[in-house]
Chains A and B, each alone.
Chain A
């Protein structure tokens, strides 16, 4: 889950005085009684690489299509760069879209596809040729200028689609599953390229994706959507480390959730009586919670440590290994606790051949730090 963005990246969403490039207010889109987008309000700032993440049918594509102008909102407003575009047709919006299917014009060459939008806005021929050449260089497809889309590979088509959508220098580029049709290796390579292009041009990118890894790698911020609503809007790191809901915690990465009730709280220490572990869990949590409140404790598999002997301190559980998945870099172990709860933890495979590898039916003691886990109330 490496984030390719530079750490010095400024965070425009933290400066409230700046006018966001996209402002969505109470947006609703319903098809009869089905609400594809259900009361979403969201601000996206200039130069962001913003991801709309969610499972299929969560409404992310509908939201993107409303930004492009292909769907009319049932209610609510969309502002782009301060201008109300809610009822502006797509051909008059300062945005361009890269389609999931690429939607390249099959009867036009690569060049003509890229020049298409520029021709529509009446750009002079010489300037147009220059811009097209610039775009082809940007995505490295100069060699295929005269080819038709059906003579290109999937990866090349993807580049043409990107160049075509960028050619008009839109204020916002909308990308619908831009890497969805590529194979894994190419997808990983292209992720970095997309980020580089976005940083070079400074255009705001809004990406729809169902792939959480892709969203984590590329985005400045992620909006996680679930059943037409925003589950959480955050930076990739915050989204992963501090999910605000159970859904967010389990959608991004893997997580162990322990069900329980607040036992007591002292300063930032919170004790939770969990029926899943049969013991009290200690979590660092500064917001006050009422005693007896129903909560979940979330702990990521990689933050669970294997220890030799039980020490009797907090957050220790014992169990038996039931399943092992060897992934090469890490192994995932599924452990059954005495209460019947199954949890998972991962171990990096540091040695090529461990002398005493963990094996099935082995009893283990697991432990984690109070500040490695989070409390979820929703």
Chain B
């Protein structure tokens, strides 16, 4: 038996080993670098931080760990507020994606067979254009003499242009637009797999269509909904490009702050500390997502 099993086990190890290796080299190792930089001292040099390993003399090795960066993050309310700002933007954007994306996913999942693929293509189509170009396009739409204001004025709905660009509204529009497909696709996948006899069973037992949705469809689509919501929430937390291009100077998000610390202030250790904290904060929604994924797998078994 043992002899027979041996090659199987090596095969498994090999297959599991490849992603492990990949993740170790391209995710874990860089993160350890970031962690290392976050506990070092900033200096004016290239690279702009001091190595942890210093003063190797008389057989004595000194390692200097600088927790000042983390202390600064805790002391200065700017960083805490940026974190709150990011959470707010991410949470609200996720909510908008849910409100907008659920009906979309539902409509596609319940559309006639031959309509489903074209509708899905419409969701995926924007990905064929560079993300950056699409965000720039929004500048053209939202600016004071942009397409939207021109159209509204031509229709006579407004007299003077609306100030949208460089406001939080523009940030939300940009984020919801960009991340909506990430919400719609996993939710669609869950909805389309649902056994529609369950709705008949609910109707048979006395449920009107609305209650059928609330008691059967909604709870059964929760895994897809949560997976989609986390796919929006997690990257939006660290989003930098959209608030930078569409938002105003008072849009406070952690991603933007990190960029400033890193490129403008050349304070790599502080930026790294910010990154480390963001990662720790993001573990919470990630655990939520895993929980629902597992439930989904269980339900499908």
**Residue positions of A touching B, CB distance < 8 A:** 68-70, 89-91, 95-97, 99, 101, 103-107, 116-117, 120-121, 150, 164-165, 168
B7 adjacent to chain A (CB < 8 Å): no
* B interface size (C-beta, 8 A): 20
Cα A105 to Cα B211 in complex, Å, equals 14
Evaluate contact between A106 and B201: CB separation under 8 angstroms: no
Evaluate contact between A68 and B204: CB separation under 8 angstroms: yes
Complex contacts, A96 vs chain B, CB 8 Å: 204-205
- Complex partner residue of A168 from B206, B207, B211, CB under 8 angstroms: B206
Cα A268 to Cα B231 in complex, Å, equals 83
- Complex partner residue of A103 from B200, B215, B219, B298, CB under 8 angstroms: B200
Given contacts A103-B195, A107-B219, whether A121 and B206 have CB atoms under 8 Å apart is yes
Complex contacts, A91 vs chain B, CB 8 Å: 203-208
**A250: min CB distance to chain B, Å:** 33
B119 adjacent to chain A (CB < 8 Å): no
Cα A69 to Cα B201 in complex, Å, equals 11
Complex contacts, B57 vs chain A, CB 8 Å: none
Evaluate contact between B197 and A99: CB separation under 8 angstroms: yes
Complex contacts, A89 vs chain B, CB 8 Å: 203
Ordered nearest first, which 3 A-B pairs have the shortest CB separation?
A117-B205, A120-B206, A103-B201
B198 adjacent to chain A (CB < 8 Å): yes
**B244: min CB distance to chain A, Å:** 42
B301 adjacent to chain A (CB < 8 Å): yes
Residue of B nearest to A164 (CB): B205
Q: A68-B204, A117-B206, A164-B205 are in contact. List 10 more A-B contacts (CB 8 A).
A: A91-B205, A95-B204, A97-B204, A99-B201, A101-B195, A103-B198, A106-B220, A106-B299, A116-B205, A150-B299
Evaluate contact between B200 and A70: CB separation under 8 angstroms: yes
Complex contacts, A107 vs chain B, CB 8 Å: 219-220, 299
**A107: min CB distance to chain B, Å:** 5
Cα A97 to Cα B220 in complex, Å, equals 22
Evaluate contact between A103 and B301: CB separation under 8 angstroms: no
Cα A91 to Cα B205 in complex, Å, equals 6
Cα A116 to Cα B206 in complex, Å, equals 9
Cα A106 to Cα B295 in complex, Å, equals 11
Cα A120 to Cα B203 in complex, Å, equals 10
- Complex partner residue of A101 from B197, B206, B219, CB under 8 angstroms: B197
Complex contacts, B200 vs chain A, CB 8 Å: 68, 70, 90, 97, 99, 103
Complex contacts, B205 vs chain A, CB 8 Å: 91, 96, 116-117, 120, 164, 168
Beta-carbon contacts under 8 Å, B206-228 to A: 206-208, 211, 215-216, 219-220
Complex contacts, B50 vs chain A, CB 8 Å: none
Complex contacts, A90 vs chain B, CB 8 Å: 200, 203-204
Evaluate contact between B301 and A116: CB separation under 8 angstroms: no
